[in-house]
Amino acid sequence: MTTGKPTFSSLLDDLKAWLEYQLEEGNRTVEMDPELLKNLAHIPRRKADQAAADAGLKSITETIKACTNCALNKTRTNTVPGQGAAHPDIMFIGEAPGADEDQQGLAFVGRAGKLLTKMIEAMGYTRDEVFIGNILKCRPPNNRAPMPEEMETCTPYLKAQIALLKPKVIVALGATSVKGLLNIKTGISKLRGQWHTFEGTNLMPTYHPAYLLRNPSAKKDVWDDLKDVLKHLGRKAPPVRKRTG
């Protein structure tokens, strides 16, 4: 994997690495728009960076949609690969899809997702400007916790997404997310607010929005963590708009 600011050639290297990974996994076909590949050499580099990332992400998404590598494929309605910007400042990573996400095929669209949206907007971003995903791409039945072997089987998809997206910061939401990425079993209350790194990318652990729905008093801790993320990015939270009426 290349590190640092993405360039046209580094993205092509990553795309090549992803295709080689597919071959190693025994996948002989991937979804790829031939026109897009043909045009890569003729379009401005910034657009080409975006196009290469989009093509790589699309390929990962299609592979996830067809995945039967663990038993969760039998109970899912839709896969939930994650969604958002290519090369975002921030990538939010949660645990696994819930019922709403399973129905819609989108990450964080239920009650916890609405709270995450508020957190993102309080930071001065929109959902489309960040990337939102999960450790697992399919819903565990009855929202049970992901099993270690499911996480081990599914995490390569997330790692491939991170390699392509190259976020400036990863925000790991909840203990399962931290465990899946860093293999750390320490409780989230001890880990939150402290910087870690995942394959060269700065990672901030904080509480999962679902935990905040049950424990609203922890919102202040999360906001402190997110302000630290903004500081790291050289940004400030926009002023809070006063409610009218």
181 makes contact with ligand SF4 (CB under 6 A): no
Distance CA 227, CA 244 (A): 25
70 makes contact with ligand SF4 (CB under 6 A): yes
- Least CB distance to ligand SF4 at residue 152 (A): 9
Distance CA 22, CA 173 (A): 28
- Least CB distance to ligand SF4 at residue 136 (A): 5
Helix intervals (H) in the chain? 8-24, 34-39, 45-65, 99-104, 111-122, 148-165, 175-182, 188-191, 209-214, 219-232
- In sequence order, the 6+-apart residues with CB closer than 8 A to the CB of 107 are 80, 82, 83, 94, 97, 101, 113, 132, 133, 134
- Least CB distance to ligand SF4 at residue 163 (A): 17
Q: Which member of 48, 115, 138, 173 binds ligand SF4 (CB under 6 A)?
A: 138
Is the Cβ of residue 106 or residue 138 nearer to ligand SF4 in the bound state? Answer: 138
Q: Which member of 55, 64, 169, 229 binds ligand SF4 (CB under 6 A)?
A: 64
Q: Which amino acid is at 106?
A: L
- Least CB distance to ligand SF4 at residue 222 (A): 27
The site for ligand SF4 (CB under 6 A) is made up of 64, 67-70, 72-73, 79, 136-138, 150, 153-154
